[in-house]
């Protein structure tokens, strides 16, 4: 199996070794890819893993979208060294702000991109059906490999989904769910601003079914707050710092999902979470000056 390399880790390692040099972001991306090719990190045949919304250490906020110029540069860099980009499109159907985003797979003819998606979020996880859009030159090899695979999937589910797509019902379903998740997102953002706006900032709320809440003071332990929220309030709120690339992050806060919470419940739940956050912040401040 060919080696794979995470794009955000590639950027992180380069900036840690070489710095930013004040370069524009597109220049920094080009230099990063050139350096990776020179030192063999990005060898021919390497799979370059990227998502449409990337968290990097370029000073860009989490879930900020790569500009068109940077996506084109990434495609050109991958093509020049024989790499394949795996584009993991996990939330484009539920974009709440702004126009839909074009995938890298369709930006250039025969782009070296494997575009993968799933119906787990747009429909339900138990369906267990995904898809892969590949360059024309990979269609036959992948089809042959699929024919040799032992598992054929669940034909009845696949046929039912195909009919659901053909009939136009899937498009109607997406419109309903976009409206539903946008209402839940708006209710959560309003409650967070009301109860935690003085010490935290909402980020990455433009798409998907979760957002990030970033502490203004990075000394406030998100790991401790996550643990207390789970043990004291029965809430699952993942600490952002535990998802840092290579263990380094200036991001401290919580990842909060809203897909299963009704708008009317948001304020009360956030108020309970805010109690945990404010108490932890007070205790940290008190120990510092005790």
| pLDDT, tens digit, 9 for 90 and up, residues 138-184 | 888 888 887 777 667 788 999 999 999 999 999 999 999 999 999 99
Q: For residue 9, what is the domain's CATH number?
A: 3.40.640.10
The 3-class SS string of the chain reads: CCCEEEHHHHHHHHHHHHCCCCCCHHHHHHHHHHHHHHCCCCCCCCEEEEECECCCCCCCCCCCECCHHHHHHHHHHHHHCCCEEEEECCCHHHECCCCCCCCHHHCCCCCCEEEEEECCCCCCHHHCCEEEECCHHHHHHHHHHHHHCCCCCCHHHHHHHHHHHHCCHHHHHHHHHHHHHHHHHHHHHHHHHHHHCCCEEEECCCECCEEEEEECCCCCCHHHHHHHHHHHHCCCCEEHHHHCECCECCCCEEEEECCCCCHHHHHHHHHHHHHHHHHHHHHHHHHHHC
Last residue of a domain, one of 127, 148, 167: 167
Do 82 and 139 fall within a single domain? yes
Q: What is the pLDDT of residue 3?
A: 47
> Is the whole model's pTM more than 0.85, yes or no?
no
Last residue of a domain, one of 167, 186, 211: 167
Please state which of the ranges 79-83, 117-121, 132-136, 153-157 shows the lowest mean pLDDT.
Answer: 79-83
Do 187 and 52 fall within a single domain? no
Whether residue 11 has pLDDT greater than 80: no
Q: What is the pLDDT of residue 62?
A: 44
Q: What is the pLDDT of residue 32?
A: 65
By residue range, what is the domain housing residue 156?
Answer: 4-167
Whether residue 193 has pLDDT greater than 90: yes
């Amino acid at each position: 199996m060919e080696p794979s390399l995470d794009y955000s880790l590639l950027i992180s390692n380069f900036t840690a070794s070489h710095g930013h040099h004040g370069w524009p972001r597109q220049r920094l991306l080009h230099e990063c890819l050139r350096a990776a090719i020179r030192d063999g990190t990005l060898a021919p045949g390497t799979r370059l893993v990227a998502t449409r919304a990337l968290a990097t250490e370029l000073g860009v906020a989490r879930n900020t979208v790569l500009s068109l110029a940077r996506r084109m540069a990434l495609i050109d860099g991958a093509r020049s060294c024989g790499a394949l980009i795996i584009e993991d499109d996990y939330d484009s159907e539920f974009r709440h702000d702004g126009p839909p985003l074009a995938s890298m797979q369709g930006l250039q003819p025969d782009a070296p991109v494997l575009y993968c998606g799933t119906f787990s979020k747009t429909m339900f996880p138990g369906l267990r059906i995904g898809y892969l859009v590949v360059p024309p030159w990979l269609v036959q090899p992948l089809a042959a490999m699929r024919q040799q695979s032992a598992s054929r999937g669940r034909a009845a589910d696949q046929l039912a989904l195909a009919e659901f797509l053909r009939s136009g019902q899937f498009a109607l379903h997406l419109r309903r769910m976009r409206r539903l998740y946008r209402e839940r997102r708006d209710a959560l953002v309003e409650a967070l601003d009301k109860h935690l706006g003085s010490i935290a900032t909402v980020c990455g709320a433009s798409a998907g079914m979760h957002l990030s809440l970033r502490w203004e003071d990075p000394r406030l332990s998100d790991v401790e707050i996550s643990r207390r929220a789970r043990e004291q309030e029965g809430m699952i709120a993942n600490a952002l710092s535990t998802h840092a690339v290579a263990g380094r992050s200036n991001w401290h806060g919580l990842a909060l999902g809203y897909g299963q919470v009704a708008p009317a419940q948001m304020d009360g739940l956030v108020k309970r979470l805010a109690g945990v956050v404010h108490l932890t912040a007070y205790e940290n401040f008190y120990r510092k000056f005790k």
